[in-house]
Structure 1
Amino acid sequence: MTDHSGDTAATLGGTIETRSIDYVPEDERHGKVRDQGPFWFVGNFQPFTVAIGFVGPALGLSLGWTVVAGILGIFFGTLFMAFHASQGPVLGLPQMVQSRAQFGYRGVVLALIGTLFTYVGFNVVDVVIIKAGLHSIFGWNAAIIAVVITAVATLLAIYGHDLLHLSFRVLFWLSLPLWAILTWGVVFGHAGGGDAGAATGGFTLLAFIAQFSVAASYNITYAPYVSDYSRYLPRNTRTSAIVSAVFLGASASPVWLIPVGAWMATRLGATDALAGIHDAGNSVVPFLGSVLALVATLVLVATMGLNAYSGMLTVITGIDSFRKVTPSRRIRVVTVLALAAVWLVLSLLFTDSTTVLNTTLLIMLYLLVPWTAVNLTDFFFVRRGHYAITDLFTPDGLYGMWSWRGMTAFFAGIVASVPFMVLPFYVGPIAAALGEVDVAFAVGLAVSGIVYWVLSRSLDLDTEERFIEDSEAALAGEETPAHG
């Protein structure tokens, strides 16, 4: 545990969040369940989500089938994401610290690699979407756009949890009426584009599965950090309340915007999300598209701050796994700046947002599905939410350095899914035999979950209860008795 006495005074007026990978005590839990729904709604209420609707049409899928595949994928992925949110109130920890219980104090680095790829990957694609879109619409210099939005996202990540929540609340009310007007225009034929008879595309299983997979991965990739933003909720928060709030919020905006994106792709021939928003909006009401493009950009930049924030927590967790870290303002700032430099450089190297989007999301899905299967199986079916929190910060504690059960299940899921993978640079043999239909994520999910559950049957949960009791006593400020 970390002593934060005097730390707040060292921050800028106490506005920079003082906690990072450490436990949030009950008396600091100021979060509210009612804020979770709008928070995750806004997280997906942006151009990236619109671009998800481009995937199916690019592969020849019709508007209707793209909408069906996209919505089903979103519901599937959000289900896993939402259940991870319940871990924040119970444990008061960032998600990756809790994962030490399944993978070990150092073994968690396996999961950290996949999640860090996710955070950086999302921000690379976000910058590509924004710089290409704003350059297309307003003629602004793409490199300068990339630098400016990276700087804003970096500041949001440095100031942390409360500023991110505040930003998302403001953007929720700013965005909602603009998107409502645009959607009204689309539904009633005022947003331009061809009529239904002019639309191209049909149904192919390959395109349907690709659209489903990309949509599913969109919210599954939130799974590693959803509890980062629920860990300030009271410990007695009902699981049903937080899961419902996150599920409804995180799924509602994609269910709204993916069809809008599919419409833009099939009716407008759009290949750039911001340009599509601009053109359709201006057809409905003069300057609506221009304003909405800028507001949507702000939402996407705020989401980049969210990615950077959780990326910072992931990096610090990784460093702490090998060399003890005292959470501080300095390490927080340095880590966020380093991540920003990486995603900025990478984003300047890419220009094709659709290709980058599709490939990045699929790789994220392959890496994260085995982790989410292990983590949720452990939390809900093996240990049932009972953990010795103090031992998660102890290298030689209850969970050990390297937990062979979690690591074995993780690798088993990845290895089992390789023959089913479909990527621009690799097609697995079984996927090829299936006509390049990608079901790798389903295979990885099932294999990792089942393997972990089987291996965990040998855990001595009765002995773990004694460690948990000692941990709870320590968190309550009592003297910790010896384990025995």
Structure 2
Amino acid sequence: MDTLPKSAVEGHSIDFIPESERTDKLSSQGPFWFLGNFTFFTMTIGFVGPSVGLSALWTILAGTLGIMFGTLFMAFHGSQGPHLGLPQMIQSRAQFGYRGVILALLATLFVFAGFNIVNMVLMMQGLKELFGFNPLVVALAVTVPATVLAILGHDWMHRSFKWALFLSIPLYGLVTLAVMMNWVPDAPMPLLAAGEATPAPLGFNWTGFITQFAAAASYNIAYAPYVSDYSRYLPKNTHSGKLIAVVFLGASLSGAWMIAVGAWLADHLHASNVLVALSQVGNTVSPLMGIVVVGVTILVFLPVIAMNIYSAKLTTLTCVDSIKHIEPTRRARILAIAFVILLQLGVSLSLQGSDKGLSVLGIYLVVMLYFLVPWTAVNLTDYFFVRKGRYAIPHFFTPHDSLYGSWGMRGLASYAIGFVAMIPFFYIFDGVAQKEVYVGPLAKALGNIDIAWLVGLIVSGLVYYWLSRSIDLKNEEAVIQRIELTHPHFTTGDKAAMPLAPLSGITNFGR
């Protein structure tokens, strides 16, 4: 932000970013989202397949296809940031209403906070097992620097991601090389308790394949509420097709890489905690290298923890503002961050003593997908096919007499109908305990294959498109044009740069 010194705390939160402050470059987005998935936590997504009977090879295939599928939705959401200059969930007021968006906000807050809770539990358990570290000390050592980054804001987040990328590429390059060169011997099968049956050898099964696909897809679909938070500082005439491609390549390549490494660790080392497995890989080079691998792994993950805190803060402020209008001051940002930190610390410390971390992870990823799929379907349908990128930006901040109303019944109904339609297709399986948590009747009829996410995407998107036929788009366009005449800085970007015109049959996003 060229109007502020580089050392300054970010001045914006849930408000509109003026064009004069949009100093980001398109080239920064690829590395940013590459690092977002280039972490030890992404490796744990590769643990899901072996836990449900898949070999490393089939896990890698299912995980790669899933991460690419989920990244499509994430990347399309990213194009909204420079076009509108808004955080993602503020824009959702157009579909759900000024107050009705709270439903979507609670789902996304669950995702942002949940990611950090699972991350911290894995770190506390891993460092306690490896070095005997006190879990509270670990939690504070991770949370404090990440909180500082989140308070400093957008520019410092991008800088920290750049430096973390420089550290993580040689680190995970070494780990990958050790795996590919077979430097790490396979671990023996764990001893079985008396009367416990010998597990079947890992191979292929459709239930496991779809479960791994869904876990990987949910991982990047979960980024959908984040992306505009970090692309809104791009100039409004940024070419959306190029932005979509850059975000897609960055997030999918690193995600597929880390899932592949995780699949090998789970298959060959029977790993249940990724930090312990990485230490084991490092120790094959030298005993000191195991410590270095774990230390750098934690260090480069701090910006990702900060990213979750930052977006959870935006979601918390949007939620409060949807109930009672607030000014998005620095003080409000810090108070929202304090709320998020207390929530995360309290829950993670209460869970860290459990030995069911991997079970919680697998279930969490699936449930997260269920909550986010109807929202992403409604949001993208509105942006690309109903309103086609044309929004009255000041009305996102108007509690009363807003063009989009207090309760967006079309969006809320579409979300609810899509979610209810998914329930019979739910298949929630605990791969660690090898037991079914919940199986919907239609999932059982399909042989325990989970296609709930696909049902939710189709149903919510189609219902919203059908209900939106009653929207008075001509009146909305007249309001938008008046705003653009009187407040030209509120224009919704360069229409020529809007995405997917050839693919969607849309030749002009203006009406």
TM-score normalized by the length of structure 2: 0.88
Give, as a single letter, the amino acid of the residue that structure 2 aligns with 1:47. Answer: F
Write the distance in 1 (CA, Å) between the matches of 2:36 and 2:306: 11
More divergent stretch after superposition (152-161 vs 248-257): 152-161
Q: Which runs of 4+ in 1 moved over 6 A?
A: none
Residue 36 of structure 1 deviates from its aligned partner by 0.6
Instruction: Give, in whole Å, the separation in 2 of the partners of 1:287 and 1:79.
Output: 40
Distance between the aligned counterparts of 1:129 and 1:475, measured in 2? 49
Letter in 1 for 2:147: T
Match of residue 83 from structure 2 = 90
- Residue of 354, 359, 363 corresponding to 1:355: 359
CA distance in 1, matches of 2:266, 2:488: 56
Q: Using the alignment, how far apart are the partners of 1:284 and 1:453 within structure 2?
A: 57
2:271 corresponds to: 270
> Which of 408, 414, 424 lines up with 1:409 in the alignment?
414
Letter in 1 for 2:468: S
Query: SS state of the match for residue 284, structure 2?
Result: helix
Shift of 1:286: 4.9
Cα distance in 2 between the residues matched to 1:236 and 1:411: 35
- The residue number in structure 2 matching 1:481 is none
Structure 2 counterpart of 1:309? 310
CA contact (8 A) 1:391 1:471 kept: no
| C-alpha distance after superposition, 1:347-399 (max 9, x if no partner) | 11223321111111111100100000000011111111111111111122111
Matching of residues 201-212 of structure 1 within 5 Å:
201-212=202-213
In 2, distance between residues paired with 1:171 and 1:20? 24
Instruction: Tell me the CA shift for residue 312 of structure 1.
Output: 0.7
Classify the secondary structure of the residue corresponding to 1:54: helix
- Aligned match for 2:151, one of 141, 158, 164: 158
In 1, the alpha carbon distance for the partners of 2:79 and 2:147 equals: 27
* Residue 461 (structure 2) aligns with: 449
Give the direction of change, closer, same or farther, for the CA distance of 1:104–1:200 in structure 2 (3 Å limit).
same
Following superposition, the deviation at residue 413 of structure 1 comes to 0.8
State the 1:213 CA deviation. 0.6
Contact residue 71 and residue 215 of structure 1 kept, 8 A: yes
Mapped to 1, the partners of 2:126 and 2:243 lie a distance apart of 35
Range with bigger deviation, 242-251 or 282-291: 282-291
Tell me whether 222-231 or 457-466 shows the greater mean CA deviation.
Answer: 457-466
Q: Give, in angstroms, the shift of residue 296 of structure 1.
A: 1.6
Q: Which amino acid aligns with 2:393?
A: I
Report what 1:334 is aligned to: 335
Question: How big is the shift at 1:106?
Answer: 0.8
What amino acid is aligned across from residue 216 of structure 1 in structure 2? A
Q: Is structure 2 residue 143 aligned with structure 1 residue 131?
A: no
Q: CA deviation at 1:285?
A: 4.9
For 2:425, the equivalent position in structure 1 comes to 420
Q: Deviations over 1:421-452 (max 9, x none)?
A: 12354321212222322111111111000111
Q: Which amino acid aligns with 1:324?
A: H
Q: Deviations over 1:265-288 (max 9, x none)?
A: 111111111111111122145533
Three-state SS of the structure 1 residue aligned to 2:226 is helix
Letter in 1 for 2:404: Y
Deviation larger for 357-366 or 71-80: 357-366
Deviations 1:146-171, CA, capped at 9 Å, x for gaps: 12212222211111111111100000
The answer as to whether partners of 2:59 and 2:209 remain within 8 angstroms in 1 is: yes
Contact 1:45–1:299, Cα closer than 8 Å, also in 2: no
TM-superposed deviation, 1:297 = 1.2
Match of 1:321, SS state, is helix
For 2:232, what is the secondary structure of its paired residue? Answer: coil
Q: Distance in 2 between matches of 1:230 and 1:437?
A: 36
Report the CA distance shift for 1:57/1:411 in structure 2 as closer, same or farther (over 3 A): same
- Unaligned stretches of 5+ in structure 2? 189-199, 430-436, 491-511
Amino acid at match of 1:15: A
Q: 2:405 maps to what in 1?
A: 400
- Deviations along 1:88-119, one digit per CA (max 9) or x if unpaired, are 00000000000001111111111101100001
Aligned positions, number: 468
The one of 482, 488, 503 aligned to 1:476:
488
Q: Match of 2:323, as an amino acid?
A: F
Match of 1:100 among 79, 93, 107: 93
CA distance in 1, matches of 2:228, 2:131: 38
How far off is 1:14 after superposition? 5.5
The Cα shift of 1:474 comes to 4.6
Specify the code of the residue in structure 2 equivalent to 1:127. M
Q: Deviations over 1:249-276 (max 9, x none)?
A: 1111111111111100111111111111
Which residue in 1 is equivalent to 2:443? 431
SS in 2 for 1:222: coil
Give secondary structure in 2 for the equivalent of 1:426: strand
- Could you tell me how far apart the structure 2 residues matched to 1:62 and 1:468 are? 54
**Does 1:227 find its partner at 2:228?**
yes
Q: Is residue 2:371 matched to residue 1:367?
A: yes
CA contact (8 A) 1:191 1:284 kept: no
TM-score normalised per structure 1:
0.93
Aligned to 1:33: 26
Which moved further from structure 2: 203-212 or 17-26? 203-212
Structure 2 partner of 1:179: 172
CA distance in 2, matches of 1:34, 1:287: 36
Q: CA deviation at 1:204?
A: 1.2
| 1:3 aligned residue | none
**In the alignment, is the contact (CA less than 8 A) between 2:44 and 2:274 conserved in 1?**
yes
Amino acid paired to 2:219: Y
AA aligned to 1:441 is W
Matched residues in 1 for 2:228 and 2:475: separation? Answer: 27
The equivalent of 2:104 in structure 1 is: 111
Distance in structure 2 (CA, Å) of the matches to 1:311 and 1:172: 23
Q: Which residue of 1 aligns with 2:66?
A: 73
Comparing 141-150 and 43-52, the one that deviates more: 141-150
Equivalence for 2:293? 292
Provide the rounded CA distance (Å) in 1 between the counterparts of 2:402 and 2:446: 46
Distance 1:356 1:85 in 2: 29
Which residue of structure 2 lines up, in the alignment, with residue 193 of structure 1? Answer: 186
Retained in 2: the 8 A contact 1:182–1:284?
A: no
Q: Kindly indicate whether the alpha-carbon contact (under 8 Å) linking 2:167 and 2:300 is maintained by their aligned counterparts in 1.
A: no
CA RMSD of aligned residues (A): 2.0
Counterpart of 1:324 in 2: which secondary structure? coil
Q: Residues 19 and 235 of structure 2 are in contact (CA less than 8 Å); yes or no, is this contact kept in structure 1?
A: yes
Q: Partner letter of residue 426 of structure 2?
A: M
Gaps of 5+ in 1: 1-5, 479-484
Work out whether 1:167 is the aligned partner of 2:181. no
